[in-house]
């Protein structure tokens, strides 16, 4: 199995609705997303001969996804009152409503699914919430 790896980072705020610990409060992270793409065989012909995937293609796709979440407040759709969302939007805060609770685990799955949908042979995505704490999502074959 051949594997390549790339990473991107973004800064955002989030909170965990319905959680009883500190993370129930709005707080921020410098998230680092590391992606591993893997294939049993490398490309044998063409300009990408000898590669799993061009690093620049992987970096471009990963960074585009990270940019969509950068300097925004990530929240689970439906977890805030509509009046709260409207007030934050009126203040011109950047909000990203996600169809899932914005945990490191589910962000890893989100990045995995988004990259795989672009045809990238994603094996594992690891999302670092802090330098010491990370969650991974991978599909094992």
Q: What is the CATH number of the domain that holds 9?
A: 3.30.479.10
- Region 64-85: what's the mean pLDDT? 97
pLDDT tier, 141 (very low <50, low <70, confident <90, very high otherwise):
low
Total residues belonging to the chain: 141
Active site residues: 23, 71, 129
Q: How many structural domains are present in the chain?
A: 1
| Residue numbers of the domain that contains 71 | 2-138
pLDDT at position 78 is 96
Q: List pLDDT tens digits, range 112-136.
A: 999 999 999 999 999 999 999 999 9
C-alpha 49/C-alpha 78 separation (Å) is 47
Token pair 């599909």 is found at 139
Using one digit for the tens of pLDDT, what is the confidence trace for 11-65? 999 999 999 999 999 999 999 999 999 998 887 888 888 888 899 999 999 999 9
Nearest 5°: CA angle at 53, between 132 and 5?
10
Q: Which long-range contacts (CB under 8 A, 24 or more apart) does 135-139 make?
A: 135/103, 135/104, 135/105, 135/107, 135/108, 136/108, 137/105, 137/108, 137/109, 137/111, 137/112, 138/36, 138/112, 139/112
């Amino acid at each position: 199995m051949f594997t390549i790896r790339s990473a991107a980072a973004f800064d955002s705020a989030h909170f965990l609705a319905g959680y009883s610990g500190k993370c129930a409060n709005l707080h921020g992270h410098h998230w680092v997303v590391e992606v591993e793409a893997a294939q049993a065989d490398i490309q044998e012909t063409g300009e990408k001969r000898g590669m799993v995937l061009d690093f620049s293609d992987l970096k471009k796709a990963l960074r585009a996804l990270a940019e969509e979440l950068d300097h925004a407040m990530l929240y689970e759709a439906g977890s805030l009152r509509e009046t709260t969302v409207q007030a934050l939007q009126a203040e011109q805060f950047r909000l990203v409503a996600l169809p899932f609770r914005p945990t490191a685990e589910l962000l890893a799955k989100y990045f995995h699914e988004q990259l795989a949908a672009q045809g990238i042979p994603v094996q594992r995505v690891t999302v670092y919430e802090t330098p010491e704490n990370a969650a991974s999502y991978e599909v094992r074959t």
